[in-house]
A and B are shown apart, each in its own frame.
Chain A
Amino acid sequence: MEWLLANLPDVLELTWLHWLQCVLPLLLGLVLSLPLGYVAWRLRPIRGAILSVSSVLYTIPSLALFVLLPFVLGTRILDPLNLIVALTIYAVALLVRSVVDALESIDDGVRQAAVAMGYRPLRRFFGVDLPLALPVLFAGLRVVSVSNISLASVGALIGVRNLGTLFTDGLLRFFVTEIVIGIVLTLLLAVVMDLIIVAVERVLTPWLRAGAKQPPAGTGAGFAARPHAGERPDPAEAAVLP
């Protein structure tokens, strides 16, 4: 505790950096994966290709990706940009699938009704498809947020400053307190981010609270995407399913 108070400005700075390094990739990932997911959803022939590339990218271990990127991007090896790009890649890889699953989960009748009412494709996407896809999409965002926050600390090994620095520094000085504080702050950050995402989702999907206790078709089907599931889990639960 004394250590924390003595080093509060440093710790707060690291927390802030950690948060930035996770939020930026989350937002960038979302912006990139929406059009990619939309294209994959509309054009069935290239869907397989997009989804396999994203799962291959997701398979590359984080430490390896952090080290490979400088050579690909031409950045310095200690540049925090490498970490941000790597986490963005993971975010896109996960979210593209969420977007496809989310769009897939929408009742076709709703879409046809929108067309019958005269919605043009672009307006239909933003007015009908996207809002209805939100629950599944947000379940994906929550998973990405948790995994990015935990992954980012590995960046400390390649010299990026964030909460992971407390781990490398703590090991160097054999100082347990510092490591425990790092772990607690990382968990705290993950919980706070999760709450923020859930709050944003609640604001964006008022109709889910309004009347229906029944979630819309396909809620939570995102990751769970079980081959022959009897029951669909709720999104919170889906977030931990493989």
Chain B
Amino acid sequence: MNIFAAVAEWFLDPSQWSGPAGIPARLAEHLGYAALTLLIAAAVALPVGLYVGHTGKGRIAVVSVASALRALPTLGLLTLFVIVMGLGLMPPIWALVILTIPPLLAGAYSGIAAVDRTLVDAARAMGMTEWQVLAKVELPNALPVLLGGVRAAVLQVIATVAVVAYINLGGLGRFLIDGLAVSDPVRMFGGAILIALLALVVDGLLAVAQKYAVSPGLADRRHRQRRETPTVGAVQGGI
């Protein structure tokens, strides 16, 4: 039978849509791991990025740490954490957190650093405190770049969580790994389609969110510029 027909049948099989190994359950696991990772990574990366962007202190350290972390092989880090810290939920999550920090950090830092310095000086001259400068001037102006970093981070997490199935966790990657183990190409193909679809849908949603979250003043100014907005994929780094 044609593989595509077989995969369509796999998707239509009602047993795929229920139970702990069904598609909804795996999807929920996938999103759950991703959300947990993002929360921890954001709690670390965003404050550091904002601080460095605002004060300019530790700029070189942040840039070099972010690029060094980017070169780390996903699979190597995952297996290392599992062997050193044991099986279970948290070891792979910590590995994922380390991989998620660079895009968030770079987004926060470069977003703030790219804000026109005259705007910041004007804000100070008007008597704003440092906190007000950060919250009312730098953050809104940095939002497009910062959200770009968030989008890159989210995509990377969704891609990396697929690999986590290899070390005995759930998520949509299970279909691939289990399918490979029992040489079931239909299940692998179906799982791969699900993961790809999830990434595309989430990216689309984030693109829309990014559009709405950006202050209208900036959106307008961007519109008039000829250069297109950067896609975030641009520097996703190791998936």
Contacts and interface: CB of A to CB of B under 8 A. Distances in A.
Could you say which interface size class chain A belongs to?
Answer: 35 or more
Contacts of A147: 70, 236-239
Contacts of B239: 61-62, 147, 151, 154
Contact of A150 (B63, B66, B72, B180): B72
Interface residues of B, number: 76
A240 B66 contact: yes
Contacts of B188: 67, 77
Contacts of B96: none
Contacts of A179: 76, 79-80, 83
Interface residue SS majority, chain A: helix
Contacts of A92: none
Interface string A214-231: 000000001111111111
Interface in A73-121: 77, 93-94, 97, 104
Interface in A18-67: 51, 55-56, 58-65, 67
Interface of A: 51, 55-56, 58-65, 67-68, 71, 77, 93-94, 97, 104, 143, 146-147, 149-151, 153-154, 156-158, 163-164, 166-168, 170-171, 174-176, 179-180, 182-183, 186-187, 190-191, 222-231, 233, 237, 239-242
28 contacts: A51-B231, A55-B231, A59-B200, A60-B200, A61-B162, A61-B195, A61-B199, A63-B163, A65-B196, A67-B176, A94-B233, A97-B234, A143-B234, A147-B237, A147-B239, A157-B75, A164-B76, A182-B73, A183-B80, A187-B71, A226-B110, A226-B230, A227-B218, A227-B229, A230-B115, A241-B110, A241-B145, A242-B106
